[in-house]
Chain A
Amino acid sequence: MMTKVIRKVAGSRWVQSPNWFWSFVLATLVSVVAYVFNLALSEVDPGNIWGISYGTAASILMAGAGLYAARRRTLKFRGLGKSFSWVQFHVYGGALAFILVLMHTGFRLPAGPMNWLLWILSVWVTLTGLVGIGLQKWIPRILASGLAVEVVYERIPELVQQIKSQTEELIETCSEPVRDFYRKNLAPALVNPQSRFIYYIDITGGIQSRMVEFNYLRRFLSSSEKDALERLEAAYKTKLELDAHYTLQKALRWWLYTHVPPSLVLLLLIIFHLYAVLYY
């Protein structure tokens, strides 16, 4: 049963590199076997040779996983391997590190404020890491499938301003009903990029429902006015798609704030923890 599940995961789109995945599975198995052996021979204690080994391995893996952040800032050094390999180590190494932390504590809750802090941060960093993986698998797929527009996040405000000035130019040539419709329904939405929660639930639904507003007005317009309205409609649709990108790409960026700073704190506390253990 367990083997079946692992094989299914290995073949899914969640696993980009089967080699890295199977290496992780193997390393985890080795760790579990060592832990069972440990249980058979002696009590699990963070302070004995077994416990220190788990802790040391976890610390090394965490430090290695943390190096990915440094790698992203040193891309010009081409001989340091592909970013993909670094990310794979970051993900699998980080996951294995958490398993080793649990072994280090003997799957028990820690004692003392420092140990609690380390433990909570380890759980937090691992959980936010998993959430990040989830977001990185989910959001690109819905952005690619549901939207016609593809855009660089940093350019969204500039593009929204472009749309705004184009529509303002266009509206000068339109009759009063269209202008009125623009002022009440469209102008407020074109001011700046807007985040909306609905894009997380249904990336196209939110846009389609807003486009319905144009249908009633269209009935009363001449053919030339209809053309102008269609151009307005197209511009507005593009703006809403930009909003969808803004909302979801922002999530991909903001998630990092929940993961990276705690990771740095965790690494610093690990150094302090090691110093304290060695000193005392």
Chain B
Amino acid sequence: MAEQRNIGLTEIKRVEQYKDRWTSFGANTGIIEISEKLTPAQLRKFEIFQEYDDQFLERISPDISIARWKKTTMLFEEGSYIDIAFFLVNGSVDVYLEKQRAHSSGPIFDSSRTVLSLGTEPLQKGQARGADRTVFQMKSEQEERRGREKGSKEITFLSVMDFDIPSGGVIRLGPGEIFGEIGALSGWPQSVTAKTVSQCDLVQIRVPALRLMRRKSNALKSRIDKVYKERSLLAQLKATPLFRGVSEEFVKALCQKVELVSCDPDEVITKEGEYPDAFYIVRSGFVKLSQRLGEGQVVVSYLSKGSTLGETELLIDGTKGWLYTASSKEYTELVKISREDYQQIVASYPMIEKSLWSSVVARLKEAGYNKRNIGQSEFIDTALNAGLVEGNSILVIDLNVCTRCDDCVRGCADTHGGIPRFVREGDKYENFIITRACIHCQDPVCLVGCPTGAIRRAAVGDVVEIVDSLCIGCQTCAKNCPYDAIVMHPTKELWPDNMIPEGLRGKERMLATKCDLCYSSTAGPACVSSCPHHCAFRVSNIGEFQQLLAKG
């Protein structure tokens, strides 16, 4: 194992947090020893790698390290985004809730925000919309709404926690246990804080390797799924509106039967016409629903976190095949319930059937309408590609009114020390341009893997910000962002000669920049307030964009 590096010599304070790509996500650097670029033989010493061949292990080796951690070291904090799963070899780790349970159990997803509304009423002239509100106002409105809707069936608690820990409780993990994998694989923030109890040896597996390992090995997949089912699925299913009122025993039994499905981007989940063998609940990500039209496929709807698929095919008698081809838009996690189990649920709980019938009617109505109106289908496709579904605050510009004066960009640059946080370019839809400004995603994948934690939720509304003083310009966030909303800017500063890691020494420091919604200003986003022609808008969901389109 490599010698521990003396990080105390580092000139820049932020670098103290950055030992290497493996240890940087935590606030502490309590590593005693670390080894990476392990040979297949070295990896095979650990039980978790034993079933893989040499070629495969060579391939995943760059994303694996073995670290020895000091005792009472924090591995990760509740709310942090990490791209590593831990396999505990020796020692023990405590996982616990650091913050209030009330905070972490709050609904991170409100499906009503992304429901595509047909025939939405256009905004009245002069009516306030998202663009006119500050993020502080938006936050309080959200909180108010969340409070109001607590218990409403629109809210889904799926995928909130990867440990079901009661308030004040602690779970002690021992050798052979795997943790951190749910948040890492899904891009969710960690729901707990993990701290070493004794000196620990941990195998640290980055997400790309973990995905490959899980895909290749049914045993590992079963193991990860088993852990997930044991630790959190029960609590999540119980909190899902669909299963409200269902007995605990029934949900417990269901937990053991369901299958957890993970999809890569653009993976087909169901194929139109094929036998409908299951019912799905989306845990994370987005699923595109399309139907055959002529020689091609037309997008008719989409599913987001908490949505269900299969109720139409399984409820309507005589439906021989899937009505839709469902494919994942990004990395997507689903709960799969077999046809038999589904039928048992429906037979046992009439209120579930009633709720599903409402969903069937809404889906058929939406899909039918969109298939007959190609423009609407094109709109959904654009919305999925441009982030209108995923985003919390999307900058759109009405090109019918925009004089291309660029005051929006100038205002942004002036507010951010001369560096604009977006360019007035992007996808064009009708008379609007959906700019490549950060859309502040519901599940921001840019946060995953940041080695210093420089990119983070700003704790104000849904704002994702980059802390300049922490950014080391590694480009991880820029590469992760599917919407090209993060831009690397060169600075005139050079990294010092004792910089860790070595690769950066003497090189020019780059800085990742993106929109922060000007959250520190009560005047709202500068792009909107600097627009002299009232043509720049911030929309918080697809419905608001439809309202703008309807207004013309």
Q: What separation, in Å, do the CA atoms of A19 and B125 have in the docked complex? A: 11
In the complex, chain B residues whose CB is within 8 Å of the CB of A79: 523
Evaluate contact between A83 and B529: CB separation under 8 angstroms.
yes
In the complex, chain A residues whose CB is within 8 Å of the CB of B506: none
Q: Is B402 an interface residue (CB 8 A)?
A: yes
B535 (CB) vs chain A CBs: closest residue: A140
Complex interface residues of chain B between 406 and 425 (CB less than 8 A to chain A): 406-407, 410-411, 414-415, 423-425
Evaluate contact between A140 and B521: CB separation under 8 angstroms.
no
Known: A78-B523, A84-B531. A153 touches B415 (CB 8 A): no
Q: Is A209 an interface residue (CB 8 A)?
A: no
Q: Is A18 an interface residue (CB 8 A)?
A: yes
Evaluate contact between B533 and A16: CB separation under 8 angstroms.
yes
Of the four ranges (under 10, 10 to 19, 20 to 34, 35 or more), the interface on chain A belongs to 20 to 34
Known: A87-B532, A136-B533, A152-B424. A76 touches B404 (CB 8 A): no
In the complex, chain A residues whose CB is within 8 Å of the CB of B404: 140, 143, 152-153, 249, 252
Evaluate contact between A75 and B414: CB separation under 8 angstroms.
yes
Provide the A1-36 mask, 1 if CB < 8 A to any CB of B, else 0.
000000000000000111100000000000000000
Evaluate contact between B400 and A76: CB separation under 8 angstroms.
no
Q: What separation, in Å, do the CA atoms of A103 and B495 have in the docked complex? A: 67
Provide the A150-190 mask, 1 if CB < 8 A to any CB of B, else 0.
11110000000000000000000000000000000000000
A139 (CB) vs chain B CBs: closest residue: B403
Evaluate contact between B410 and A140: CB separation under 8 angstroms.
no
Kindly identify which residue among A75, A144, A152 contacts B431, using a CB–CB cutoff of 8 Å. A144
Evaluate contact between B407 and A75: CB separation under 8 angstroms.
yes
Complex interface residues of chain B between 77 and 133 (CB less than 8 A to chain A): 125-126
Evaluate contact between B415 and A76: CB separation under 8 angstroms.
yes
Evaluate contact between A76 and B414: CB separation under 8 angstroms.
yes
Of A18, A136, A144, most buried by chain B (CB within 10 Å of CB) is A144
In the complex, chain B residues whose CB is within 8 Å of the CB of A150: 399, 425, 428, 433
In the complex, chain A residues whose CB is within 8 Å of the CB of B523: 78-79
Evaluate contact between A83 and B532: CB separation under 8 angstroms.
yes
Q: What separation, in Å, do the CA atoms of A88 and B423 have in the docked complex? A: 26
Q: What separation, in Å, do the CA atoms of A83 and B531 have in the docked complex? A: 6
Evaluate contact between B423 and A140: CB separation under 8 angstroms.
no
Kindly identify which residue among B415, B433, B530 contacts A83, using a CB–CB cutoff of 8 Å. B530
In the complex, chain A residues whose CB is within 8 Å of the CB of B521: 78
Q: Is B268 an interface residue (CB 8 A)?
A: no
Evaluate contact between A87 and B399: CB separation under 8 angstroms.
no
Kindly identify which residue among A72, A143, A152 contacts B399, using a CB–CB cutoff of 8 Å. A143
Evaluate contact between B400 and A141: CB separation under 8 angstroms.
yes
In the complex, chain A residues whose CB is within 8 Å of the CB of B407: 72, 75, 83
Complex interface residues of chain B between 354 and 413 (CB less than 8 A to chain A): 399-407, 410-411
Q: Is B66 an interface residue (CB 8 A)?
A: no
- Nearest chain A CB to B464 CB, angstrom units: 21
Q: Is A119 an interface residue (CB 8 A)?
A: no
Q: Is A236 an interface residue (CB 8 A)?
A: no
Q: What separation, in Å, do the CA atoms of A79 and B521 have in the docked complex? A: 9
In the complex, chain B residues whose CB is within 8 Å of the CB of A141: 400
In the complex, chain B residues whose CB is within 8 Å of the CB of A249: 404
Known: A76-B414, A143-B399, A153-B404. A148 touches B532 (CB 8 A): no
Q: Is A145 an interface residue (CB 8 A)?
A: yes
Evaluate contact between A84 and B399: CB separation under 8 angstroms.
no
Q: What separation, in Å, do the CA atoms of A42 and B99 have in the docked complex? A: 79
A87 (CB) vs chain B CBs: closest residue: B532
- Nearest chain B CB to A133 CB, angstrom units: 10
In the complex, chain B residues whose CB is within 8 Å of the CB of A152: 404, 406, 423-425
Q: What separation, in Å, do the CA atoms of A17 and B534 have in the docked complex? A: 9
Kindly identify which residue among A18, A75, A83 contacts B125, using a CB–CB cutoff of 8 Å. A18
Provide the B530-546 mask, 1 if CB < 8 A to any CB of A, else 0.
11111000000000000
Q: What separation, in Å, do the CA atoms of A75 and B420 have in the docked complex? A: 13
B403 (CB) vs chain A CBs: closest residue: A136
Q: What separation, in Å, do the CA atoms of A228 and B406 have in the docked complex? A: 36
Q: What separation, in Å, do the CA atoms of A150 and B414 have in the docked complex? A: 24
Q: Is A92 an interface residue (CB 8 A)?
A: no
Evaluate contact between B425 and A16: CB separation under 8 angstroms.
no
Q: Is A50 an interface residue (CB 8 A)?
A: no
Of A18, A82, A143, most buried by chain B (CB within 10 Å of CB) is A82
In the complex, chain A residues whose CB is within 8 Å of the CB of B529: 78, 82-83
Q: Is A98 an interface residue (CB 8 A)?
A: no
Kindly identify which residue among B399, B410, B424, B433 contacts A75, using a CB–CB cutoff of 8 Å. B410
Q: Is B526 an interface residue (CB 8 A)?
A: yes
Kindly identify which residue among B125, B399, B424, B530 contacts A140, using a CB–CB cutoff of 8 Å. B399
Q: What separation, in Å, do the CA atoms of A150 and B534 have in the docked complex? A: 19
Known: A75-B411, A152-B424, A152-B425. A84 touches B403 (CB 8 A): no
- Nearest chain B CB to A80 CB, angstrom units: 9
In the complex, chain B residues whose CB is within 8 Å of the CB of A139: 403
Q: Is A86 an interface residue (CB 8 A)?
A: yes
Evaluate contact between A78 and B415: CB separation under 8 angstroms.
yes
In the complex, chain A residues whose CB is within 8 Å of the CB of B411: 75-76, 83
Complex interface residues of chain A between 50 and 87 (CB less than 8 A to chain B): 72, 75-76, 78-79, 82-84, 86-87
Q: What separation, in Å, do the CA atoms of A17 and B401 have in the docked complex? A: 13
Q: What separation, in Å, do the CA atoms of A109 and B431 have in the docked complex? A: 46
In the complex, chain B residues whose CB is within 8 Å of the CB of A19: 126
In the complex, chain B residues whose CB is within 8 Å of the CB of A144: 399-400, 402, 431
In the complex, chain B residues whose CB is within 8 Å of the CB of A17: 126, 534
Complex interface residues of chain B between 16 and 59 (CB less than 8 A to chain A): none
Q: What separation, in Å, do the CA atoms of A150 and B435 have in the docked complex? A: 11
- Nearest chain A CB to B198 CB, angstrom units: 52
In the complex, chain B residues whose CB is within 8 Å of the CB of A140: 399-404
Evaluate contact between B533 and A87: CB separation under 8 angstroms.
yes
Q: What separation, in Å, do the CA atoms of A60 and B530 have in the docked complex? A: 24
Provide the B433-460 mask, 1 if CB < 8 A to any CB of A, else 0.
1000000000000000000000000000
In the complex, chain A residues whose CB is within 8 Å of the CB of B433: 150
In the complex, chain A residues whose CB is within 8 Å of the CB of B431: 144-145
Q: What separation, in Å, do the CA atoms of A140 and B433 have in the docked complex? A: 13
Q: What separation, in Å, do the CA atoms of A75 and B532 have in the docked complex? A: 11
- Nearest chain A CB to B13 CB, angstrom units: 28
11 contacts across the A-B interface (CB closer than 8 A): A18-B126, A72-B410, A83-B530, A84-B531, A139-B403, A141-B400, A144-B402, A148-B428, A150-B399, A152-B424, A252-B404
- Other than the given A75-B411, A83-B407, A152-B425, 20 more pairs (CB < 8 A) read A72-B410, A72-B532, A75-B410, A75-B414, A76-B414, A76-B415, A78-B521, A78-B529, A83-B529, A84-B534, A141-B400, A143-B404, A150-B399, A150-B425, A151-B425, A152-B404, A153-B404, A153-B406, A252-B404, A252-B405
User: Which 10 pairs between the two chains have the least Cβ-Cβ distance?
Assistant: A144-B399, A76-B414, A78-B523, A83-B532, A75-B411, A87-B532, A75-B414, A144-B431, A84-B534, A82-B529
List B residues at the A interface (Cβ < 8 Å): 125-126, 399-407, 410-411, 414-415, 423-425, 428, 431, 433, 518, 521, 523, 526, 529-534
List A residues at the B interface (Cβ < 8 Å): 16-19, 72, 75-76, 78-79, 82-84, 86-87, 136, 139-141, 143-145, 148, 150-153, 249, 252
